[in-house]
Chains A and B, each alone.
Chain A
């Protein structure tokens, strides 16, 4: 029995010595320093931040002395409506205008009607009425001033002006 104990101790001592020997080994010489150029930074493909999608609302035009939405204007009005559904926190002011013909006073009322027709279309599409303001400028704010149909047709319009949420 005592032999086993002694054997164990000797064995442990040998193991210890080996380890000590290992520990005392000198570290391997450092490899010679070689000037390597710094590694170029990894070129990650430049990802532009996604552009803030903006509202691009088109002006809607009308026939002379009329306030109903024309067939050929429905597409752009529907497109405006889709955008407004998507950007559902924006507020818009609908500005009604007329061409110069006829009296200023009646044109104020006609411009108001045009703005409200557009508002009706948009609310029926599903846009909250509280997001839509209307104002009429009659014939008082033309975009052009020549007296011909080319200019008149450009003035018979409702413009979409995006306004800040802040009051």
Chain B
């Protein structure tokens, strides 16, 4: 009798161990895979005593970290109301039974300290299944950079868990009329935080585009009474003229190697596509149609091809050609209006603004088959731009009554509004930055 009881107990223990040992705390991302890792992010532990007013920074940092990690389509942050303990200070608090009850298999633990001038955070990632520590790293920044520091922490955690960096350290450029009704260029964090005005044209600014390193922005500005293309150096804080040919100079876009800027301008009395050498300004003409509009160029991530809008077939559609203008082929065959192509950094998909029977929607086109999938269905939706991870899209929509910016996953899920005041349109998502806080 004793032996069988012992055996059954042993079997029970072995089963329990095998159940917990199943979840490996590393999620290998396959393209557009739907595997989701559930993680827990409790509030940061105060390292020493009472911080007074600065305690709000401690709680803010964990809040922002939860939002940053939840933004990933591969991570799901369990709501903290479900956590078995509110404070995770000691290893004993990492009781596997109670945490796995809420479905989380990974805990992010943070220790917070401040001397009222700087913040210090030590981050530990624990796998619940085997109480193994996956990552330990310390971070430091000035107090007023605490939020940006969280974005850096989040990207590091994302990389530790999935093998790819997140996009918390990115920026979104866009056009807003919130200042005096003029359409000016703005830049904000990926979540809409801290919008700041870049231009002072007091007229109309359109179509921002980032250089590949994220150090320059090109845009069309009416500062001189007509549509000319300018460039703004983010670090030198200087605006320079790029193109002011007679007629409208529109929709500039940077090649991935930053060597060329493609744009649309009038030549032979109709809008054609050109390449400009970013260093010398020398122009190369790419299209030679006589009666149609060619505009909205966008490079492929390899830099070998350009997608663009043309109405040469009668209505505006998306075409693809080689970078020097040869081998033009049509991509969109559904609908009578497809413009504003944005090529996914993953190379296999293009999204664009499409007119359907319901209005204007964001279409996701599989390049190999040309099949569109419509990602939106409410209001008028325009001007999609891919995040550098190829999993998120920012676009403008008037579904709330006025045009605002929204982010969403590549498949149209998890729509998130990120702007509020005025009218906000024409977003462009930057590359990933690697912020340092020395």
User: Could you tell me which A residues sit within 8 Å of B by CB distance?
Assistant: 65, 101-106, 108-113, 116, 120, 134-138, 140-141
Contacts and interface: CB of A to CB of B under 8 A. Distances in A.
A166 B383 CA distance: 41
Contact of A140 (B183, B251, B270, B309): B183
B264 interface: yes
B266 A112 contact: yes
Contacts of A110: 293
Contact of B293 (A101, A102, A113): A113
7 contacts: A101-B380, A104-B206, A106-B295, A106-B296, A116-B270, A135-B227, A136-B248
A102 B295 contact: no
* Chain B contact residues: helix, strand, loop or mixed: strand
Q: Which 6 A-B pairs have the closest CB atoms?
A: A106-B339, A109-B293, A109-B295, A103-B340, A112-B248, A109-B271
B339 A108 contact: no
B264 A102 contact: no
Contacts of A116: 266, 269-270
A103 B204 contact: no
A81 to B, nearest CB: 19
B250 interface: yes
Nearest to A117: B269
B247 A112 contact: yes
A137 B295 contact: no
Interface of B: 175, 183, 204, 206-207, 220, 225-227, 247-248, 250-251, 264, 266, 269-271, 293, 295-296, 309, 315-316, 337, 339-340, 353, 355, 360, 380, 382-383, 425-426
B269 to A, nearest CB: 6
B383 A108 contact: no
Given A116-B269, A140-B204, A108 B360 contact: no
A106 B269 contact: no
A108 B337 contact: no
Contacts of B426: 104-105
Given A102-B339, A104-B425, A106-B340, A112 B271 contact: yes
A82 B425 CA distance: 42
A137 B271 CA distance: 15
Given A102-B339, A103-B340, A140-B183, A108 B250 contact: yes
Nearest to B315: A65
Contacts of A112: 247-248, 266, 271
Contact of A105 (B226, B247, B295, B337): B295
B381 to A, nearest CB: 10
Nearest to A113: B293
Contact of B339 (A103, A120, A135): A103
A102 B360 contact: yes
A103 B355 contact: no
Contacts of B206: 104-105, 108, 138, 140
Nearest to B266: A112
B340 A105 contact: yes
A152 to B, nearest CB: 13
Contact of B207 (A101, A104, A135): A104
A71 to B, nearest CB: 19
B247 A103 contact: no
A65 B336 CA distance: 10
Given A65-B337, A113-B293, A103 B353 contact: yes
A140 B425 CA distance: 12
Contacts of A120: 269
Contacts of B266: 112, 116
B204 A137 contact: yes
B360 A101 contact: yes
A106 B248 contact: no
Contacts of B355: 102
Contacts of B271: 109, 112-113
Contacts of B383: 103-105
Given A104-B207, A106-B339, A141-B204, 18 more contacts: A101-B380, A102-B337, A102-B382, A103-B296, A103-B340, A103-B353, A103-B382, A104-B383, A104-B426, A105-B206, A105-B295, A106-B316, A108-B206, A108-B227, A108-B248, A111-B248, A112-B247, A116-B269
Contacts of B225: 135
Contacts of B337: 65, 102
Contacts of A108: 206, 220, 227, 248, 250, 295
Contacts of A140: 183, 204, 206
Given A103-B383, A105-B296, A110-B293, A136 B227 contact: yes
Nearest to A107: B339
